[in-house]
């Protein structure tokens, strides 16, 4: 009985041993991962994604490496510019492991190495620029920094694809001065725009007034021309009608007498000039109506402000 129990124990140990061997022998490498295998402590091969079999207790699989592009944001680093100003620069590095063997054996910690190399290269680049150039040359700094990092990390089995300066923070005193300068610049631009707007408004107003005056003058001129043409045509028609009717001097004198009240409406009418022909016609009318004789046509001199009547022959 004891022999059977010991046999079962031995079989159980063998089963456990076989299971452990199988577990250690069969490995599955996920996609976008890579594994480095050492055989008796020496590099043997690099495992690609898929199922692989290892020799138990002889082969050792190192921690898997991520082959995807990685993003590492480093803490802000103080950098001194050429004009002796300390700026804080925050960088972001995009890199990818291209050679798992080199990334394992050529460098102990490639992430820390990339961070230190980025800081050193950034200080060298920014140290030759002043503050204004540093703030306005981000693309140039990014390109130079990426080139230096890619060249240096190539032997580590790492490819740096992009380097971005996430933030460049100058000292607080410089920030306040820059804000004041920007505010003054904005105020200056606003004043210029306001002056330009006022100028354009004045120009448009003057142009509108000039156009209005021109149009008004043209309208007045057209109206005067039309009135003159109308009066000319009216006079012409009256003249033609008079000549067609062949009026006598007595009729003309009568019409003149009808017009005299209208001539007397003005307060400044002090002297009337009557043509001699009209005077002769008035004599004829007086003789017809049974008035004074022809020799007694002289009237008494006007009294007060009464208008004086003179014929053209008397003048």
SS3 content of the chain, % helix, strand, coil (to 5): 55, 20, 25
Higher pLDDT, 33 or 314: 33
Question: What's the pLDDT tens digit per position in 158-217?
Answer: 999 888 888 888 877 776 777 777 788 888 888 898 888 888 888 988 888 888 889 888
% of the chain with per-residue pLDDT over 90: 13
Mean pLDDT rounded to a whole number for the chain: 79
CB of 25 closer than 8 Å to CB of 59: no
Domain layout of the chain by residue ranges: 2-65, 70-170, 177-246, 247-311
State residue 302's pLDDT score. Answer: 46
Question: What's the pLDDT tens digit per position in 259-272?
Answer: 666 656 656 555 55
Query: Token pair for residue 250?
Result: 């007595």
Coil, strand or helix at 263: helix
Assign domain 70-170 to its CATH superfamily: Band 7 domain (3.30.479.30)
Rg of the chain (C-alpha set): 59
34 pLDDT band, cuts 50/70/90, is very high
254 pLDDT band, cuts 50/70/90, is low
41 conformational bin, left if phi > 0, alpha if psi -120 to 50, beta if neither: left
């Amino acid at each position: 009985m004891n022999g059977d129990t010991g046999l079962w124990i031995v079989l159980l140990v063998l089963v456990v041993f076989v299971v452990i061997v199988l577990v250690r022998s069969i490995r599955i490498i996920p996609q976008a991962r890579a594994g480095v295998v050492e055989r008796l402590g020496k590099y043997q091969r690099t495992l690609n994604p898929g199922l692989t079999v290892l020799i138990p207790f002889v082969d050792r699989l190192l921690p898997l490496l991520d082959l995807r592009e990685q993003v590492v944001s480093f803490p802000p680093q103080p950098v001194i510019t050429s004009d002796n100003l300390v700026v804080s620069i925050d960088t972001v590095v995009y890199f990818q492991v291209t050679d798992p063997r080199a990334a394992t054996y050529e460098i102990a910690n490639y992430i820390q190495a990339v961070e230190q190399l980025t800081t050193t290269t950034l200080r060298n680049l920014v140290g030759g620029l002043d503050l204004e150039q540093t703030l306005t040359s981000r693309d140039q700094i990014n390109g130079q920094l990426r080139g230096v990092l890619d060249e240096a990390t190539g032997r580590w089995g790492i490819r740096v694809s992009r380097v971005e300066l996430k933030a460049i923070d100058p000292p607080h005193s410089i920030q306040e001065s820059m804000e004041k300068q920007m505010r003054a610049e904005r105020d200056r631009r606003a004043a210029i725009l306001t002056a330009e707007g006022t100028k354009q408004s004045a120009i448009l107003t003057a142009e509108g007034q000039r156009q209005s005056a021109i149009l008004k003058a043209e309208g007045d001129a057209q109206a005067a021309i039309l009135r003159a043409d109308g009066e000319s045509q009216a006079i012409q028609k009256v003249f033609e009608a008079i000549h067609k009717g062949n009026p006598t001097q007595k009729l003309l004198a009568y019409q003149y007498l009808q017009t005299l009240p209208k001539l007397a409406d003005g307060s400044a009418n002090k002297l009337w000039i009557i043509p001699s022909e009209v005077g002769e016609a008035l004599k004829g009318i007086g003789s017809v109506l049974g008035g004074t004789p022809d020799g007694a046509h002289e009237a008494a001199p006007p009294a007060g402000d009464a208008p004086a009547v003179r014929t053209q022959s008397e003048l």
